Structure 1
Amino acid sequence: MKNLITCLILLCTLLVSGGCRDSADLDANGIPHKLIVTLYGSDDPGALKGAIKPFQHYLEKKLGMPIEFIYTTDYTSVIEALRAKKTHIAYLSPFSYVLASQKHDITPIITTGEDGKQSMYHSTIFTNIRTGINSIADLKKRSKNITLCFADPASTSGHLIPRAYLTTIGLNPDKNVFKETIFAGNHVASVLAAASGKVDVGCAATEFGLEIAERKGLVKADQIKVLWQSKPIVGSPIVVRNDLNKELVKKIQNLYVNLAKDEPGIFLPYMKLLHSQPERYSYMTVQDSMYNGIRAIASGIKDLNVVK
């Protein structure tokens, strides 16, 4: 983890030097002049922005302040926005939250619930059926001739979890066991890279990679062969900076928790981008301790590199 944090600190310096804002964007009571929310733009940023816009207007009305949503192309940029105090709220993956919380200046307040319980998802390793790779045993035998694709460097299901699994079976991607290892940028891109033959094997979230690509008609189910799927992974958190006014944070948290019930017309279109049955989902509160399992996995991988 030391090398991991060193990489992130270095990247932070490069990204924010010459324009870094600090906590001066808050008044003496921790109230921002404009509330900034930063999130990863996913594989379809246009659709995401369209689904988020009504929620932005809803928050502005309820909170009585201007709000800006900023969309990034990767999780690392979201982490750096938090470190540089360029955002007040951020949508993170479990792994990117663990990375961002190293300085203990943020708190998770919201995650997604499914049927009244915290939602879970899965990581998967897959291949194009044309490769002839039919099992993990085949993958091990042919690894020297295989190009492997992860999603985003700070992704949990698209990088950390499959990397950890591969390492446990003797296929550490940093030990030149594969012909090449690349990052596609997001889950759907990883699926498309494998489906098109650009890479031999891909890694992504089952729910946010394979299933979305299939629902959109980008790939057919019979094009892809799943080689491995992880145990359930804890859901992604929405986090706030710790210097934000506590009463404001509580109000924001309550607006999220009650959104599915109070404003289904705002909530469901956003959830439909992610899930085939959006009516089963809602927002719920979350605690930092729920990500201790992710911390343990990350700390167990030496020289973990999240920089592309």
Structure 2
Amino acid sequence: MTFLRSLIAGAAALACVAAHAEDFNLGIISTDSSAVLSQRWQPLVDDMSKQTGLHVKAFFATDYAGIIEGMRFNKVQVGYFGNASAMEAVDRANGEVFAKITYANGDTGYKSVLITNVNSRFKTLDDVFKNTKDVTLGFGDPNSTSGTLVPGYYLFARHNTPVNTSFKAVLPSSHEANLLAVVNNKIDIATNNTEMLDTLKKDHPDKFAQVRVLWTSPLIDSDPLVWRKDLPQATKDKVRTFFLNYGKTDPHEKAVMAAITGYSGFVASSDAQLLPVRQISLFQQKQKIQSDTHLSDDDRKTQIAALDAKLSALNAATSKQ
């Protein structure tokens, strides 16, 4: 009887381990359709399963928030994010940056862009901002770094143009959808990034020829990988080893990385890479408070003072990097 109980207990323990392993999900933010993302990432997911012994599955959602919430509720254990969505995962979903991608062309990051169709009436930024009430804008996911946060700060805020109230229409969508809308002349302008443009140029040079770039941002640090802080250390070790070695020498792995979006592999990183994004986010919050007519002067001063203190702390942290 004792042996039987031990056997049953052992089998139950193994079942629990297997069930936990089956739940190991790699979340991928929705920069493209799920079908396109699956085609690009599934070979890496398969290799990750083989090399780590974990039963890894790709986890997709219709928007960035779906991956953030997936990590929050432990449906996603490791996620590929942009910097802005990684910030949300770190703050709200028990996440921690541990790596970031590298590019085959040697770039250390990418840039946000504002694009239009080559045949549109917009030749320069001045053409856009002289009458925005007659302009349809394709904007990014609310948690997108290059589609929303960076252009919101470096482009629209600096032109004193609040996105939600200044344009004829604002149509939030994925990078892929916005790019196709511009190529097909369905919207006037759209935010996007140099990664998507490079992919379009390589895969569809005829469609790339239909795009005019009106504005390019400063460099954005390459996209981070985030894991849940509460993963077992042994699992973290396996995951870290896999990503930091993947694509370095093996021809198959190099081809997989190149097919994702011209990537070459991954290098170690930390939450510190999110500091510039945090600065932009706090600055935008400050602008909203300054223009909020529903706040009393005292409330406005109190909230601005709190944000200024956070910005000062971030500025000091950034200066040490």
Q: Compute the TM-score of the two structures, normalised by the length of structure 2.
A: 0.76
Among 151, 157, 160, which residue is 1:170 paired with?
A: 160
Q: 3-state DSSP class of the match of 1:38?
A: strand
Cα gap change, 1:55 to 1:121, in 2 (>3 Å): same
Among 124, 128, 134, which residue is 1:139 paired with?
A: 128
Q: 3-state DSSP class of the match of 1:226?
A: strand
Tell me which moved more, 61-70 or 148-157: 61-70
Q: Distance in 1 between matches of 2:182 and 2:41?
A: 30
Is 1:241 matched with 2:231?
A: no
Q: Is there any run of 5+ residues in structure 2 with no aligned partner, and where? A: 1-15, 290-321
Aligned to 2:57: 68
Aligned to 2:312: none
Question: What amino acid is aligned across from residue 155 of structure 1 in structure 2?
Answer: S
- Ranges of 4+ aligned residues in structure 1 off by more than 6 Å: 115-118
Question: What amino acid is aligned across from residue 257 of structure 1 in structure 2?
Answer: L
Q: Is there any run of 5+ residues in structure 1 with no aligned partner, and where? A: 1-26
Residue 45 of structure 1, CA deviation: 3.4
Confirm or deny: 8 A CA contact 1:111 1:283 kept in the other structure.
Answer: yes
Confirm or deny: 8 A CA contact 1:151 1:189 kept in the other structure.
Answer: no
Is 1:273 matched with 2:256?
A: no
Per-residue CA shift, 1:224-264, capped at 9, x if unaligned? 22111001001111111011012320221111111113533
Question: RMSD across aligned C-alpha pairs, in angstroms?
Answer: 2.5
Per-residue CA shift, 1:86-125, capped at 9, x if unaligned? 1111111101011222247211111112469772000001
Tell me which moved more, 97-106 or 250-259: 97-106
Aligned to 1:181: 170
Q: 3-state DSSP class of the match of 1:220?
A: helix
Identity value in percent: 23
Confirm or deny: 8 A CA contact 2:138 2:170 kept in the other structure.
Answer: yes
Per-residue CA shift, 1:160-188, capped at 9, x if unaligned? 111112112111112x211111112x212
Larger radius of gyration: 2
Aligned to 1:256: 243
Question: What amino acid is aligned across from residue 300 of structure 1 in structure 2?
Answer: F
Cα gap change, 1:224 to 1:60, in 2 (>3 Å): closer
Aligned to 1:59: 48
> 1:27-66 counterparts in 2 under 5 A?
32=21, 34-66=23-55
Among 276, 279, 291, which residue is 2:274 paired with?
A: 291
Cα gap change, 1:263 to 1:42, in 2 (>3 Å): farther
Q: Compute the TM-score of the two structures, normalised by the length of structure 1.
A: 0.79
Q: Distance in 2 between matches of 1:172 and 1:116?
A: 35
Aligned to 2:3: none
Question: What amino acid is aligned across from residue 274 of structure 2 in structure 1?
Answer: Y
Q: 3-state DSSP class of the match of 1:243?
A: coil
Q: Distance in 2 between matches of 1:33 and 1:189?
A: 32
